Amino acid sequence: MIDFGFGLSRSSAVRLDEVDLSLYKRLEELEPQVRTCIGCGSCSATCTAGPWSGMSIRKVILNLQRGRDIEKMLSNCMLCGKCTMVCPRGINTRHLILSLCRIYEKK
């Protein structure tokens, strides 16, 4: 490529082929069920912490798949377990959150 000496500002689009999936892969290992998420939003709709912090497990999972940071999004989770009760795919979201908290320890 010829360098014209000026660059465009970097695109904010997520480059799916270049995303760093290490964290998501680690989560998949601990919680294989996470692969079956259909992103219906039930978990986030029922979330007790949602109104206080905008917490959304659906977003957490999706952001991990897109290589984005998620740390702040879990900060108000109360582990009440409602998300696990409503998940139509039977994902143990409550344990998934605990696993996420642990992954950060190892990072």
Partner 1 sequence: MDKVLIIGGGIAGMEAAGQLLKLGYEPVIAEKEDHLGGHVAGWHKLFPDMMDASALIEQLASKLDGATVYLRTRVAYMNRLKDGYSVMLSNGTGLVCRAVLIASGFRLFDAAKKEEYGYGVYDHVITNSDLEAWFNGVEDFRVPENPRHIAFVHCVGSRDLKAGNPQCSKVCCMTAIKQAIEMKEKFPDAEIWCFYMDLRLFGKKYEDFYINAQRDHGIHFVRGRVSEVGEDIDGRVVLKAEDTLAGTQVKLKADLLVLMAGMLCNEDTATIASMVRAAVDSDGFMRSRDNIYRINESNRPGIFFAGACTGTKTVPETVAEARAAALDIHNYLSGND
Partner 2 sequence: MRERFASGFDPFVLPFLIGFFFVIGYCILGIVRIMFQLSREDRRMFLLSLITPTTALKNIWDIFANCLLHVKLWKRNKVLGFMHSSIAFGWFMLIVLGHIEVMLYCPGRIHLFYYPIFFNYFVAENESTIGGAVLFFLMDFFLLLVLAGIALAIIKRVRSRIFGMRRTTRPSMLDRVGLYSLWAIFPLRLLAESFTAHISGGSFLTIPANWVFRQFLGNDLHMLPTWWAYSLALCVFMLVLPFTRYMHIPAEMMLIPMRNAGLKIRHARKGFARVEVLSCPGCGVCIDACPMSVKKANLKDCTVYLNRQLRRGNEKRIEEISDKCLLCGKCEALCQVGVEGPALRIAQRERRKYGFSQDYSGIDVAPMAAAAKGAKVLYFSGCMTRLTPSVGKAVCSLLQKAGVDYVWADRDEGLCCGRPMLTAGRTEQARQLIRKNEEMILGSGAGTLLLSCPICYKIFTEEYNLPGVRVVNYVTFFNELVEQGMLKLEKGDLFYVYHDPCELGRGCGIYEEPRKLLGRAAGITEAPKNRAESICCGGSLGSLTLDFQHREAMTLNALKNLYESKADAIATACPLCLATFSRYSERPVRDIAEVLDAQSHV
Binding residues for partner 1 (CB under 8 A): 38-47, 50-51, 54, 56, 58-59, 85-90
Nearer to partner 2, 59 or 95 (CB): 95
- When asked if residue 21 is in the footprint of partner 2 (CB under 8 A), the reply is no
Stretch that binds partner 2, among 6-14, 15-23, 58-66, 98-106 (CB under 8 A): 98-106
Return the closest-CA partner of residue 49 out of 101, 97, 92: 97
Q: d(Cα 40, Cα 98) in Å, to the nearest integer?
A: 21
- Tell me the C-alpha distance between 16 and 22, whole Å: 13
In whole angstroms, give the CA distance from residue 107 to residue 101: 10
Told to check if 63 binds partner 2 by CB under 8 A, we report no
- Which stretches of the chain bind partner 2, using CB under 8 A? 33, 46, 48, 51-53, 71, 74-82, 84-87, 90, 92, 94-95, 98, 101-107
